[in-house]
Amino acid sequence: MTTQNPYILTLASNSSRRLDLLHQLNITPNSIKSPDIDETPLKNEHPYDLALRLSLGKAQTVFDQNKPNNSNSYVLAADTVVACGRQILDKPQNAEEACAHLAKLSGRRHHVYGGITLITPKNQILHRKCKTLIQFKPLTAQEIDNYVQSDEWEGKAGAYAIQGYAGSFVKLMNGSYSNVVGLSLYDTIKILEKGGFKIPTSSNSLS
C-alpha cells in the first residue's frame, strides 16, 4: 500500500546525479530549481565549511523565492567539494584544468566533502556534513589523457565521476560512495527524518 506524502519537496539543484540518488530513496521531488549563487570560496575557508555554506545558500535562495507556497514545502539542497588537503579542486573549465586536477589526484589521498541543508515548512534549517576519503592509484599521462578525451570530467568537481570509468582509478575509499556521486543517501535519510518528512514506501511520485 502506498503512503501519500502531504508535503511538497523542492530539490535546489539541477544535478541529474542527485535526482537519480533521490530516486533510490523512492523520492521524486515535486519541483527542481537551480539557484544562482556565488560559489567562490571565502579566504581561508575550509572545504568542509564551503560545502555546507553553499548548500545553505542554495536552499535559502530557493526557499525565499517560493515564500507564498511555503505552508507545506520543504527545500533540500546539497553541495560537493573535492579537495587535496585544503586545496579545492573545483569543476574544471577546460581540458587543461581537468588534466591538472587528475595529475594532482594521481597516487594521492583526497577528500570529498558533502554539505546537505533542509529547510522545513516551519522555517527550521537543518544541516548534515559528511566526508569520504579516496585514494587514486598512480595515473599515467596516457590514462589521464584518455580520460580527459572521454569528456566524462565535464561539470564534475575534481574532474572525475566515480560512477563512470574513473571508478577504476580508486584504490581506497573510506566513507559514503553516494556522497562522492553527489548526495550521501545515509545523511539525506537522516536529515529528512529529523525534519519530519515522510519517506515514501514505494517508488511513486510525491505529487
pLDDT band at 5 (very low <50, low <70, confident <90, very high): low
Give the structural domain span for 181: 8-194
In a domain, 94, yes or no: yes
Number of domains the chain is built from: 1
No. of H helices and E strands in the chain? 6, 7
Could you report the per-residue pLDDT of 61-84, keeping only the tens digit for each? 999 887 655 578 899 999 999 999
pLDDT at 1: 41
Answer whether residue 2 shows pLDDT above 80: no
pLDDT at 14: 86
In a domain, 127, yes or no: yes
What gap in Å lies between CA 115 and CA 98, rounded to an integer? 23
Could you report the per-residue pLDDT of 131-155, keeping only the tens digit for each? 999 999 999 999 999 999 999 999 9
In a domain, 202, yes or no: no
Angle at 51 between CA 181 and CA 83, to 5 degrees: 70
In a domain, 203, yes or no: no
Average pLDDT over residues 191-203: 83
Rounded to 5 degrees, what are φ and ψ at 16? -65, -30
Report the catalytic residues: 79
Q: Is 41 helix (H, G, I), strand (E, B) or coil?
A: coil
Q: What is the CATH number of the domain that holds 101?
A: 3.90.950.10
In a domain, 207, yes or no: no
pTM: 0.90
- 117 or 68, which is more confident? 117
Q: Which regions of the chain does DSSP assign to beta strands (E)?
A: 8-11, 31-32, 73-84, 87-88, 109-119, 125-136, 170-174
How buried is 149 (Cβ within 10 angstroms: 0-12 exposed, 13-18 middle, 19+ buried)?
exposed
pLDDT at 199: 82
pLDDT at 31: 92
Only one residue has cell 597516487, namely 107
In a domain, 204, yes or no: no
State what percent of residues in the chain have pLDDT above 90: 81
CB atoms within 10 A of CB 38: 6
List the beta bridge partners of residue 13.
none
In a domain, 3, yes or no: no
In a domain, 199, yes or no: no
- 128 or 72, which is more confident? 128
pLDDT band at 3 (very low <50, low <70, confident <90, very high): very low
